């Protein structure tokens, strides 16, 4: 079977996927270790028996709904390649908005930044590659996720990120930062989307939060008042229906210049505010 023949068959098989052709191309590229350009230019190339066996297994996993990123073990974010596992959320394009805003609001001078619940390390590593003059601290409760984030930092080659294991602010004691960023759990436990699509395979601990999905956001906002420098910024990613209520939480804790920004699909995604203590 040639590359072209397999791609056609696989695309027809992945009927439940939102992007069957793209999924098939990613799997074929992953198994053959060939670029997409090569696959298209040499589409008549014959697959080996071993490649067909591996491709068949990958296709079955994708048919069952397993995310492509978990099958290949990697995901691109901010034009960087991150290793992923089922111990972490899969980095999503919309989260790049948080990175974009973080870089925009960072002071122009060297400073310290905290990332809470770092997961794969995608947010903090992306920011660290852009601001090598800053010192970044990343906290993650899950040990396996923390190890993965450290591996990603080493693989990408950033040396200005320090990783700590623990629950939110506990590992940093009385330290203060010029900026705190976080993409915390924000889905309410009864949300029907938890049983649909890729999220079925992702760790619920990284997705679900009590109090209508707001419990962890409230903890982060409250704790930020003790760990931000005067005029420091807090940026939190949240659900597309949570912008207004998250703004209220920020304001209740004394944050100013509070604003919600939309993601690249036009949905409310990131709320930020500046800490000012009279």
- The reply, when asked if residue 121 is annotated as ligand binding, is yes
Residues 191 and 134 in one domain: yes
- Per-residue tokens: 179: 């900026």
- The reply, when asked if residue 74 is annotated as ligand binding, is no
How many angstroms separate the CA atoms of 230 and 238, rounded? 24
φ, ψ of residue 167 in degrees (nearest 5):
-100, 110
Residues 267 and 180 in one domain: yes
Residue 277's alpha-carbon distances to 32, 100, 115, 229, 260, in angstroms, are 57, 26, 22, 9, 21
Torsion over CA of 28, 33, 35 and 38, rounded to 10 degrees? Answer: -80
E strand residue ranges, the chain: 74-77, 80-83, 112-116, 135-140, 161-165, 177-182, 228-237, 255-262, 268-275
- The reply, when asked if residue 184 is annotated as ligand binding, is yes
Residues 39 and 172 in one domain: no
- The reply, when asked if residue 186 is annotated as ligand binding, is yes
- The reply, when asked if residue 140 is annotated as ligand binding, is yes
**Residue range 120-126: mean pLDDT, rounded:** 97
pLDDT of 211 reads: 81
Q: Calculate ∠ Cα 92-187-172, nearest 5°.
A: 75
Residues 232 and 202 in one domain: yes
Residues 243 and 130 in one domain: yes
Mean pLDDT (the chain) is: 92
**Residue range 174-188: mean pLDDT, rounded:** 92
- The reply, when asked if residue 86 is annotated as ligand binding, is no
Count of domains forming the chain: 2
Task: Note whether residue 172 is domain-resident.
Answer: yes
Task: Note whether residue 80 is domain-resident.
Answer: no
Residues 163 and 266 in one domain: yes
Cβ(21)–Cβ(46) below 8 Å = no
- The reply, when asked if residue 185 is annotated as ligand binding, is yes
User: Which pTM does this prediction carry?
Assistant: 0.87
Cβ(237)–Cβ(183) below 8 Å = yes
- The reply, when asked if residue 105 is annotated as ligand binding, is no
CATH of the domain at 54: 1.10.8.10
pLDDT of 194 reads: 65
Residues 124 and 226 in one domain: yes
Task: Note whether residue 54 is domain-resident.
Answer: yes
- The reply, when asked if residue 275 is annotated as ligand binding, is no
Residues 158 and 241 in one domain: yes
CATH of the domain at 180: 3.40.50.150
Residues 171 and 136 in one domain: yes
- The reply, when asked if residue 91 is annotated as ligand binding, is no
φ, ψ of residue 162 in degrees (nearest 5):
-115, 135
How many angstroms separate the CA atoms of 106 and 127, rounded? 10
% of the chain surpassing 70 pLDDT:
97
C-alpha dihedral sign at 91, 97, 98, 99: positive
- The reply, when asked if residue 13 is annotated as ligand binding, is no
């Amino acid at each position: 079977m040639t590359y072209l023949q397999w791609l056609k068959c696989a695309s027809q098989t992945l009927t439940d996927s939102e992007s069957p052709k793209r999924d098939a191309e990613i799997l074929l590229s992953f198994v053959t270790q060939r670029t997409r350009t090569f696959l298209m230019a040499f589409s008549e190339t014959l697959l080996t028996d071993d490649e067909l066996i591996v491709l068949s297994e990958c296709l079955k996993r994708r048919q069952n709904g397993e995310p492509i990123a978990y099958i290949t073990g990697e995901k691109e974010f901010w034009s960087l390649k991150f290793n992923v596992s089922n111990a972490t959320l899969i980095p999503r394009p919309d989260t790049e908005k948080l990175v974009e805003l973080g870089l925009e609001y960072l002071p122009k001078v060297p400073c310290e930044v905290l990332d809470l619940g770092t997961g794969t390390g995608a947010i903090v590593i992306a920011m660290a590659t852009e601001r090598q003059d800053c010192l970044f601290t990343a906290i993650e409760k899950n040990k396996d996720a923390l190890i993965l984030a450290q591996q990603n930092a080493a693989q990408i080659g950033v040396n200005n990120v320090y990783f700590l294991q623990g629950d939110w602010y506990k590992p940093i004691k009385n330290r203060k930062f010029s900026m705190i960023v976080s993409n915390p759990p924000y889905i309410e436990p009864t949300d029907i989307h938890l049983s649909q699509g890729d999220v079925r395979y992702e760790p619920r601990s990284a997705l679900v939060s009590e109090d209508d999905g707001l419990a962890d956001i409230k903890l982060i906002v409250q704790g930020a008042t003790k760990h931000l420098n005067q005029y420091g910024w807090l940026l939190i990613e949240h659900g597309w229906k949570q912008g207004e209520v998250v703004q209220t939480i920020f304001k209740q804790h004394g944050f100013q210049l509070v604003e919600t920004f939309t993601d690249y699909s036009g949905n409310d995604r990131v709320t930020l505010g500046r800490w000012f203590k009279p």
